[in-house]
């Protein structure tokens, strides 16, 4: 396909951070208020946080053949659209497309820098950004350890410039080889001093068990890394049992299908396991049929520790402020509830005790001003 100049479309003319629509109305007044609130993000994938304009720049620079070269036309290839097939497979297919873009270390550094800048612009004060090293070195074949160090160093520099605190979670996919996971685990441990705080298992939960990765996660835990596992998203409560009982997860990515088994809910409460809930992602990947029916409040009413997150801001076309507004307008949370969710997220940060206590105090003080 011949590369043509990008055409300036409606998207390029909009101010940055216009709210995601996904076919749904958003309350702008509320959004303006929520944007000013200091926020915490515990579950955000770097690979799902790439600006459309950046993808186009990269494609033009590296001669990547793309179906389209303007943001609006590219959007359906990398983002979930409202009228699309809302399935886990389709959701994950967007990440295969995105993997084609990591052509050099410069690209990885740029995408990382912009992800931190975008979070800071949305007034996120603390973020745990997860990244899948294998996705970032898929094309360049750069050593995985080098990519982990590059992301960690870029995050440190950008976070300092933007006045935001960012820690890293290294992810591996359960539908990929355990040998890849082993490299990720080792690189994560080697980069703990550069801000890597935890290990995550993501990927196709519907068709792949977590169990082959059990030994890796045990080593990570013994080395002092936090453990979070995507579970109870595209598979049921059994998968959450595995994540807690066998993988020793202290936090669960999504976890909402734990509700299919009340005994599982009791374990979550007793062990104070935190759920990193991502409502828009759950809707777009087909777990809930509408945001209005999302079980976030039901889980919280059962005393499960829940937090609100975006998962993949660019794939879901959402910012954290927009996600929070949606929980208010569709699920019924109040501003006071949002403050509680934010403090709960601070208490769940994968930080040493003294730093976590300081983070909680910082947020208590900042939120008290609202």
Does 276 engage in binding with Zn ion (CB under 5 A)? no
3-state secondary structure of 159: helix
Q: Which x/- pattern over 256-285 shows residues binding ligand HPA (rule: CB under 6 A)? A: -------------------------x----
Question: Binding residue for ligand HPA (CB under 6 A) from 202, 243, 265, 304?
Answer: 202
Interface region with Zn ion, contact rule CB under 5 A, candidates 60-68, 211-219, 309-317, 350-358: 309-317
Q: How many residues bind Zn ion (CB under 5 A)?
A: 2
> What tokens appear for 228 in the block?
């979070």
- Of residues 40-59, those binding ligand HPA (CB under 6 A): 45, 48
Largest CA distance in the chain: 59
Cα dihedral 331, 336, 338, 344, rounded to 10, equals -120
CA-based radius of gyration for the chain:
19
Dihedral sign, CA of 364, 167, 154, 49? negative
Find, among 190, 180, 87, the residue nearest to 135 by Cα: 180
Does 251 engage in binding with ligand HPA (CB under 6 A)? no
> Within 13 Å and on the Cβ side, how many CA atoms surround 314?
26
Pick the catalytic residue: 233, 276, 322, 323?
A: 233
- Of residues 225-244, those binding ligand HPA (CB under 6 A): 230, 233
Does 172 engage in binding with ligand HPA (CB under 6 A)? no
233 is catalytic: yes
Does 191 engage in binding with ligand HPA (CB under 6 A)? no
Kindly tell me which of 49 and 71 has the beta carbon lying closer to Zn ion: 49
Contacting residues for 78 by C-beta, under 8 A, at least 6 apart: 50, 52, 55, 94, 97, 98, 314, 315
DSSP 8: P
Sheet containing strand 39-45, edge to edge, reads: 39-45, 124-131, 165-173, 196-202, 226-231, 251-254, 274-277, 305-308
Question: Binding residue for ligand HPA (CB under 6 A) from 312, 322, 323, 337?
Answer: 312
DSSP 83: T
Does 311 engage in binding with Zn ion (CB under 5 A)? yes
Kindly tell me which of 281 and 337 has the beta carbon lying closer to ligand HPA: 281
Does 307 engage in binding with ligand HPA (CB under 6 A)? no
Question: Binding residue for ligand HPA (CB under 6 A) from 41, 70, 114, 311?
Answer: 311
Which partner in Zn ion, ligand HPA, none is near 233 (CB below 5 to 8 A by kind)?
A: ligand HPA
List of residues contacting ligand HPA (CB under 6 A): 45, 48, 202-203, 230, 233, 281, 311-312
**Binding residues for Zn ion (CB under 5 A):** 253, 311
């Amino acid at each position: 396909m011949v590369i043509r100049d990008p055409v300036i479309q409606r998207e390029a003319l909009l101010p940055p951070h216009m709210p995601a629509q996904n076919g749904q109305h958003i309350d702008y007044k509320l959004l303006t208020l929520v944007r000013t609130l200091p926020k915490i993000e515990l579950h955000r994938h770097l690979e799902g946080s790439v600006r459309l304009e950046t993808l186009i720049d990269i494609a033009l620079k590296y001669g990547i053949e793309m179906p389209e070269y303007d943001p609006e036309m590219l959007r359906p290839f990398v983002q979930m659209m409202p009228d699309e097939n809302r399935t886990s497979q389709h959701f994950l297919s967007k990440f295969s497309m995105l993997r084609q873009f990591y052509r050099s270390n410069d690209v990885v550094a740029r995408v990382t820098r912009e992800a931190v800048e975008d979070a800071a612009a949305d007034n996120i004060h603390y973020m745990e950004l997860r990244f899948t090293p294998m996705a970032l070195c898929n094309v360049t074949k750069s050593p995985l350890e080098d990519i982990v160090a590059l992301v960690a160093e870029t995050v440190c520099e950008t976070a300092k410039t933007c006045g935001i605190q960012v820690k890293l979670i290294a992810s591996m996919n359960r539908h990929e080889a355990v040998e890849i996971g082993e490299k990720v685990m080792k690189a994560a441990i080697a980069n703990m001093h550069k801000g890597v705080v935890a290990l995550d298992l993501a990927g196709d939960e519907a068709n792949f068990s977590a169990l082959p990765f059990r030994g890796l996660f045990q080593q990570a835990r013994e080395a002092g890394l936090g453990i979070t596992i995507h579970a109870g998203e595209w598979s049921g409560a059994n998968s959450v049992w595995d994540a807690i009982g066998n993988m020793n997860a202290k936090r669960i990515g999504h976890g909402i299908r734990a509700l299919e088994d009340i005994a599982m809910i009791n374990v979550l409460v007793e062990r104070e396991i935190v759920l990193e809930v991502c409502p828009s992602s759950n809707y777009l990947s087909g777990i809930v049929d509408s945001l209005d029916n999302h079980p976030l409040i039901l889980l919280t009413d059962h005393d499960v520790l829940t937090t609100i997150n975006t998962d993949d801001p660019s794939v879901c076309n959402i910012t954290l402020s927009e996600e929070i507004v949606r929980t208010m307008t569709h699920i019924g949370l109040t501003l006071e509830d949002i403050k509680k969710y934010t403090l709960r997220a601070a208490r769940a940060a994968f930080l040493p005790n003294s730093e976590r206590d300081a983070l909680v105090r910082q947020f208590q003080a900042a939120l008290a001003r609202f």
